[in-house]
Amino acid sequence: MYIHPQVRHFLDGIPDADSAPPIEEQRVAFSALWQSLAAPQAPGVSCTAFNFSGEAGDIPALVYVPEGRDEKLPVLLFLHGGGCCTLRPEDFHATSTWLAQSGECVVVVPAFRQAPENPFPAPLDDCVAVYRQLCEGGQIAAADATRIAVAGDSGGGYLAAALCLDAREQGLSQPLAQILLYPMLDMASKSPSRVSRDYFLDDAGLAGVIAMHAGSDLLNPRVSPLRAANLAGLARAYVIATSLDPLEDEARAYVEHLRAAGVDASWHRYEGMVHGFFSFGGIIDEGNDAVEHVAAMLRSTWRRAGTARS
């Protein structure tokens, strides 16, 4: 299987591990890795802390706003990866600045509760709570509450897809788009890509985070959106997959199921790329290309929404 040379160099530097360390050590290690591999941050973007209200207390978030813009801007709710167990908004700082600048939008990155301390449904409930408040408006001065998209990578991609299902069931408006980067969409999957690929992320690693987050409740559509009986009425979807990712089959299947339900859905497959590459622009050029790809999707989404309103 083709492996991009920059990805090969990255993989060669990852030490082998016989077993997963305690979650606290994983969090420290993954945060350090993500920050060390990130591209330089975009200039001209402010970052401020903000608290949303949640059922268990405040939900902290980082809010990114392009500087020098007087008009209200559309909003991207970005749900970070880490399997709902690791990583933090700070670990996606550089990526968030580029999405804000090039995507011409406010980017909101919440620090949702995480497993194992707060397993399902806590992470999803926090994300839905933030989305609801963004839709209500008035939370962030620069934000246009009528133009909101949601995106997420890996476990955050799962949260973004599940949020769309929850929004439909709770009578909330759908986001203008759901942008899913190598998403985890079927936690009970034993697809060929899931069981055969072990480039940075493998089935054993997935099983560990799934056990912490969801336990045995794997067929619940709020845990595995691909298992939902009805995907009709959900937001337009853009899905990014990679040829080395164990989650690729889930990404492809989700697009197919959305299309069968009448939802506009498309996907793009990055050859020779590994899970997580979107955040690794400091060493993998196509990570930066993917960020710009998503930003272009966002700009198109905002233009489409503006045309529909005019």
Of the ranges 10-19, 53-62, 262-271, which one carries the lowest mean pLDDT score?
A: 10-19
Amino acid at 260: A
Q: With a cut of 70, say whether residue 84 has pLDDT above it.
A: yes
Residue 292: inside a domain: yes
pLDDT score for 308: 52
Q: Which band of pLDDT confidence, cut at 50, 70 and 90, is reported for residue 310? A: very low
Domain, as residue range, for 106: 5-15+22-305
Residue 195: inside a domain: yes
State how many domains the chain has: 1
Mean pLDDT to the nearest integer, 104-120: 98
Do 68 and 46 meet the contact criterion of CB atoms below 8 Å apart?
Answer: no
Residue 310: inside a domain: no
Q: What CATH code is carried by the domain that includes residue 250?
A: 3.40.50.1820
What are the pLDDT digits (tens) for 1-21? Answer: 999 999 999 999 998 776 789
Give all strands (DSSP E) within the chain, no chain letters.
45-54, 57-66, 73-79, 106-110, 143-153, 178-181, 237-242, 265-270
What's the residue count for the chain? 310
Residue 27: alpha-carbon gap to chain centroid: 18
pLDDT score for 306: 83
Q: Give the Cβ contact number of residue 229 at 10 Å.
A: 6
Mean pLDDT to the nearest integer, 193-212: 94
Q: Please state the pTM of the whole predicted model.
A: 0.97
Mean pLDDT to the nearest integer, 232-256: 98
Q: Which band of pLDDT confidence, cut at 50, 70 and 90, is reported for residue 309? A: very low
Residue 130: inside a domain: yes
Residue 175: inside a domain: yes
Q: With a cut of 70, say whether residue 131 has pLDDT above it.
A: yes
